[in-house]
A and B are shown apart, each in its own frame.
Chain A
Amino acid sequence: MIQIENVSKWYGGFRVLTECNMQVARGEVVVVCGPSGSGKSTLIKTVNGLEAVQQGDIRVDGMHVTGVSTDLRKVRSRTGMVFQSFELFAHLSVLENLCLAQKHVLKRSSDVSEHRAMQLLERVGLAAHRHKYPAALSGGQQQRVAIARALSMDPTVMLFDEPTSALDPEMVNEVLDVMTDLARDGMTMMVVTHEMGFAQRVADRVIFMDGGRILEDCAKSDFFGGGAERGERSRHFLSKILHH
């Protein structure tokens, strides 16, 4: 579903990604973790072309993201993305947030858009808040709306960029529950997160990044099993975040 092959990226002379290779198969949940500044957020943003890459190839559902002739809009309309700081549109109500792209990208009618929006708001438990503006919602509620908004495009794959990092601790679980529910439904997911509990429960594979490189890419059981073949750096990282 997602193929990242030999991807490198520079900011000027500074190399942020170095020869990254990874795949996410259909229906798979892959968690990407690593210390801050390791390039994981940059990597996930290359998948839908929000960050351009200078070298390598990225394909989503068979479509090249990196080619010059690529219709990025097509890739993006099939790729849901959830951001660390929610990024709901502050001037639109919850319902309007969910309908905007359905109407203007998928060209759905108002009725169809609203019907789909309400289905998804019910799914994330926020149908009663449909007429509120984002500022009137808690962080956890905003992030659940943001997930519903991404789902409103009926994407084939969902990208999560540290979806719980900006949340107060008591709101983390309501968001993780929605994500877990989504994973159980078979959604293909790439998740950048520090939530190792979520990784342990939901992920199929865990990828560990540091210094712009993918250092490890293994099955969840291997990653948390802590086998001798595991790298020193990821074990160190894991011991720090699990015990804090």
Chain B
Amino acid sequence: MPISRLHEIVAALPYLFETGMTFSLTLTALAAALGLMLGTLLALCRLSKSRLLSLPATLYVNGMRSVPLLLVIFWFYFLAPYIGAWIEHSPTPVQIGAYRSAVITFSLFESAYFCEIMRAGIASISRGQTHAALALGLTARQTMIMVVLPQALRNMTPALLTRVITLFQDTSLVYVLSMTDFFGAANDVASRDGSIVQMYLLAAVVYFAICFTASNFVKSFGTARHAH
């Protein structure tokens, strides 16, 4: 690699990380937080005895998990303005912007996966724990919020974090909405400087380093908890 090229890469780093990586991490964090909240609600609906709650939740989760993320991103981006218009009774499509569109899409999509993880987590808590909480006089809602969910969340932390790592990789798909995440930034620089090979390699190394470190952290987290 000519030395001038190395210089170009170094010069591009602030842009790659300050603009690109910041966006990737922010989107990951927002989608993980919102997705987990919505996913937990969906899990509670799926586990509910009421068909009115469980059936729509089941349909939603299975539907979301049966379509490619890319499709959902496009769909939502193009349909959301019309949905917005319908909600606000506006005669023209409501622009919600690529950023909000991305956050909402990823949250909705991830919630289906988080739902399944949380459902397994809730199911892993024995009936005895519920009985013990109810026997103390706690309400069913308090039992769920104070006894079952915290333990489900704790048991499922490795699975949830693993899913967040996948989410982080998937955020690179916002590229199709012309948004500048880390990969998008690398792509920008590559086309500007004609350094596609170098920039794509760099992007690969950075994604690998982050995800590999994160999964090792998840692994050690799991073993540490079992030792405890």
Contacts and interface: CB of A to CB of B under 8 A. Distances in A.
A79 B138 CA distance: 12
A122 interface: no
A90 B146 CA distance: 11
Contacts of B228: 133, 135-136
Interface in B169-228: 228
Contacts of B128: 83, 85, 87
A91 interface: yes
Interface string A73-91: 1101101110101011111
Contact of B138 (A74, A101, A136): A101
A48 B135 contact: yes
Interface string B105-137: 000000000000000000000101101111111
A190 B139 CA distance: 24
A104 interface: yes
B147 interface: yes
B142 interface: yes
B19 interface: no
Contacts of B147: 89
A9 interface: no
Given A89-B129, A135-B228, A101 B151 contact: no
Contacts of B146: 100, 104
Contacts of B137: 73-74, 76-77, 101, 105-106, 153
Nearest to A79: B135
A104 B134 CA distance: 12
A89 B151 CA distance: 8
Interface in B53-106: none
B14 interface: no
Contact of B134 (A50, A80, A85, A90): A50
B154 interface: yes
A40 interface: no
Given A76-B137, A153-B137, A104 B132 contact: no
A194 interface: no
B129 A105 contact: no
Contacts of B131: 45, 50, 81, 83, 87
A165 B183 CA distance: 59
Nearest to B128: A87
Per DSSP, chain B at the interface is: helix
Number of chain A interface residues as a range:
20 to 34
Contact of A91 (B126, B132, B142, B150): B150
A144 interface: no
A149 interface: yes
A47 to B, nearest CB: 10
A73 B142 CA distance: 12
A189 to B, nearest CB: 15
A105 B132 contact: no
Contacts of B151: 89-91
B135 A104 contact: no
Contact of A77 (B126, B136, B142, B150): B136
Contacts of B154: 90-91
B134 A76 contact: yes
Contacts of A153: 136-137
A191 to B, nearest CB: 15
B139 A73 contact: yes
A101 to B, nearest CB: 4
B138 A104 contact: yes
Nearest to A48: B135
Contacts of A106: 137
A41 B146 CA distance: 26
14 contacts: A50-B134, A76-B135, A79-B135, A80-B135, A81-B131, A83-B131, A87-B132, A91-B154, A101-B137, A101-B138, A104-B146, A135-B228, A136-B228, A149-B136
Given A50-B134, A76-B135, 19 more contacts: A45-B131, A50-B135, A80-B135, A81-B131, A83-B128, A83-B131, A87-B126, A88-B132, A89-B129, A89-B133, A91-B150, A100-B136, A100-B138, A101-B136, A101-B138, A105-B138, A150-B135, A150-B136, A153-B136
